[in-house]
Amino acid sequence: MDRTGIFAGDDPFAIARTWLAEAEPSEPNDPNAIALATVDAAGLPNVRMVLLKDIEADAFVFYTNYTSRKGQEIERSGKAAFVLHWKSLRRQIRVRGVTEREEGPKADEYYASRSLKSRLGAWASAQSQPLSSRAALMADVARITAIHGTNPARPAFWGGIRIRPLEIEFWADGAFRLHDRFRWSRSGTAEDWTILRLNP
């Protein structure tokens, strides 16, 4: 299989890290932004932009409020998908897989690294729930600040979601729309990868 150049390598996570690093100098905003897809109880899809925070040895990690719509949908299905797209590189990575929570020291460490306002905001926002006004939200932030001070602990309802892929597709723009696509797939997270070149 002619997997050379930007597609070369035996580790899809290493390839993903390389592509993300290559996008950082040229992508104007948030090169780690992913369009995250989930489904509700009726099977109706939802998609929204979130920030990918880590590419581990065998998983992708982002952080959220577990009581949010996406958090509840992921909890219910145990599955999620996303796409990383870089217009500047004319490349994208598509991922589908199974999920698990990251609620341990890694989540604590990431939460502590955020700005104080972001940490307090995580406490104050009942994410995805109806809100009467911006003023009501700011009042909640003030109340939370009075309760938790300048060093709030990570809320139990907020943490990481780890996506362990069953499928990763690397896509790069080609002349005359004859794009290059390679799909890595496996039947389970402990299984070996199968790699196929796909038609554009």
* Helices and strands of the chain, counted as H and E runs: 5, 8
Q: Catalytic residue among 94, 134, 177, 183, which?
A: 177
Alpha carbon distance 49, 45 (integer Å): 14
* Residues near 193 by beta carbon (within 8 Å), at least 6 away in sequence: 12, 184, 185, 186
DSSP-based helix, strand, coil % in the chain, nearest 5: 30, 35, 35
List phi, psi (to 5°) of 147. -80, -45
Q: Which neighbouring-strand residues pair with 102?
A: 160
Annotated catalytic residue 164: no
List phi, psi (to 5°) of 73. -65, -40
Alpha carbon distance 93, 128 (integer Å): 27
Active site residues: 177
